[in-house]
A and B are shown apart, each in its own frame.
Chain A
Amino acid sequence: MTLQLHAHARAFPIGGTIIEVQDVSLAFGGVKALTKISFDVREHEVRAIIGPNGAGKSSMLNVINGVYRPQEGTLRFRGEVLAGITPRRAAHLGISRTFQNIALFKGMSVLDNIMAGRNLRMHATFLEVAFRLPRAKREENENREAVEEIIEFLEIEHIRKTPVGRLPYGLQKRVELGRALAAEPKVLLLDEPMAGMNIEEKQDMCRFILDVNDHYGTTIVLIEHDMGVVMDISDRVVVLDYGKKIGDGTPDVVRADQNVIDAYLGVAH
């Protein structure tokens, strides 16, 4: 699979640092999930975090998203230190995410799932909503338009009203991407967006990720343990192994790195 990444000039050229992770360590009891990890993410780039199973990739994402609080180290978002960040605060700051094991609202339709993603963009109070006052109505219509745009963008018009629990896996992943996108995030965290997909679905997903990056300029941080896919679509790659950073750089640099090769292929001792 070869995808011509950003073959044309980028609509959103890569800018300054948007997320900076500095010496972050995270432990669960005696188990060290992350040890002194530092890296940065620049605005508008596609940044991948890769590594074998159990390398600490998801933990890293959960730290950025505020699910886990690291014991050591600092996290900066646009230069501002984020101490004690929660998932809700992350959402307010413009950090959206998807989950490794799809976390959609299964009983709700595709439309409702993506509408729920616009929660923070809707400000009417409960009473305004309950009595259908003008602001609540107007807000509902405006946001519905934005959601329809996303639905069109992700080519899921035909399943708009289907409860997501009934959709095949690949489509559910796409809906989850749509829900995260609905918040119009600055940064999109994707936790193994291509896990469990067949080659065709993977290609589709790669295309959508690149399109999101191109079209909306969204900075993307994605986790993957399949190296091949990631190398094609990422601008820069961080490699983790056993909670430590063992490589960082452009795909070509990382691919040639001896430590990375050892971690992936094993090494004779």
Chain B
Amino acid sequence: MAGFQFFMEVLVGGLLSGVMYALVALGFVLIYKASGVFNFAQGAMVFFAALSFVGFMELGAPFWLALPMTIALMALLGLGIERFVLRPLVNQHEITLLMATIGLTFVIEGVAQLVWGVEVRRLDLGIKDQPLPWLADNTGLFISQIDIFAAVVAGILVATLSLVFSRTKVGRALRAVADDHAAALSIGIPLKRIWALVWAISGIVALVAGMLWGARSGVQFALVFVALKALPVLIIGGFTSVPGVIVAGLIVGAAEKLAEVYIGPSVGGGIESWFPYVLAILFLLVRPEGLFGEKIIRRV
């Protein structure tokens, strides 16, 4: 029985961190869906957002002021990137756009550290990194409060965006722009406004991800690498699917923790950091479009 309890603890812990991976991956999907750009700078945006939020608080801004300030800053950053980096590159080859976002990554990381400094910061959201007593008493599972809080916030955000994009006019416009620019223009969809909107939203998603990850493991440069964990999530879920991102996030989170605990010891441990990529490679071999991605049909 103790064995089962332990298994459950690992599984739930994994699923909770999976929701957080999904949150980071969501930022990629939004932009990729609407503009076909793989935004390599998403990780840097997460880092920049968390660092700015902590920075504002250190300057004396209370939580309720620092949050809207950072939201505004991230929205502006998103709008700026769209206006000054990507719009001049419209109709360029995908690889050109990717290179531009890689360049952007270094600029954002550099500016963030230039402005806010390089030391690791603590981010206190007022939630303890301790097991939830109620849960521990009733089920015997020891799950950290902050993990649960983070998962709930991330879950709500992902679910909301997923609904907006599948059920509403904004979502249709966004998918329309992604599918065919000329046709979208012909029915009066404002291309530039849609792109600006998507970049602003992904900036805000980056902020939420940055705050949650920052609260968990400190606001530091390593946040950039959280974004790399989003890659297997994207490959497994499909680059264009919001629900896919949720499911794949859960799979990756649970699989890496379970693998670490149950397979890890027999190969010397530390497999948590690379196991998701092995999973991603397997998916590429078997189902390259991902679980929920648009099936690639080529008519010859």
Contacts and interface: CB of A to CB of B under 8 A. Distances in A.
Q: A and B, one complex?
A: yes
Interface string A123-145: 01010011010001001100000
Contact of A96 (B182, B187, B190, B294): B187
Contact of A116 (B176, B190, B197, B294): B176
Contact of B180 (A92, A105, A140): A105
B170 interface: yes
A91 interface: yes
Interface in B127-185: 160, 164, 168-170, 172-173, 175-176, 178-180, 182-185
**Interface on chain B toward A: helix, strand, loop, or mixed SS?**
helix
Interface string A23-38: 0000000000000000
A108 B164 contact: no
Given A65-B186, A96-B187, A107 B172 contact: no
Contacts of B160: 130
B111 to A, nearest CB: 28
A116 B189 contact: yes
B164 A129 contact: yes
A195 interface: no
A179 B294 CA distance: 22
B188 A105 contact: no
A92 B175 contact: no
Interface string A90-112: 11100011010001111110001
A129 B172 contact: no
Closest 10 CB pairs of A and B: A91-B188, A103-B183, A105-B179, A120-B188, A87-B185, A116-B172, A129-B168, A116-B176, A107-B294, A105-B176
A108 B170 contact: no
Contacts, number: 91
Interface of A: 65, 67, 86-88, 90-92, 96-97, 99, 103-108, 112, 115-117, 119-120, 122, 124, 126, 129-130, 132, 136, 139-140, 165, 179-180, 182-183
A108 B182 contact: no
Contact of B187 (A86, A136, A140, A179): A179
B294 to A, nearest CB: 5
B240 interface: yes
B175 A104 contact: no
A88 B182 contact: no
B254 to A, nearest CB: 29
Contact of B175 (A91, A112, A179): A112
Contacts of A140: 168-169
B240 A107 contact: yes
Interface of B: 160, 164, 168-170, 172-173, 175-176, 178-180, 182-190, 197, 240, 294, 297
B179 A108 contact: yes
A124 B173 CA distance: 13
A67 B160 CA distance: 36
Given A87-B186, A107-B179, A107-B240, A116 B170 contact: no
A104 B185 contact: no
A129 B169 contact: yes
Nearest to B168: A129
Contacts of A122: 169
A140 B188 CA distance: 17
Contacts of B172: 108, 112, 115-116, 119
A219 B173 CA distance: 27
Contacts of B197: 126
Contacts of A67: 182
A126 B197 CA distance: 9
B187 A117 contact: yes
Given A116-B176, A130-B160, A97 B170 contact: no
B180 A130 contact: no
A88 B188 contact: yes
Contact of A130 (B170, B187, B189, B190): B170
B183 A119 contact: no
A105 B188 CA distance: 14
Contacts of B168: 129-130, 132, 136, 140
A237 B172 CA distance: 37
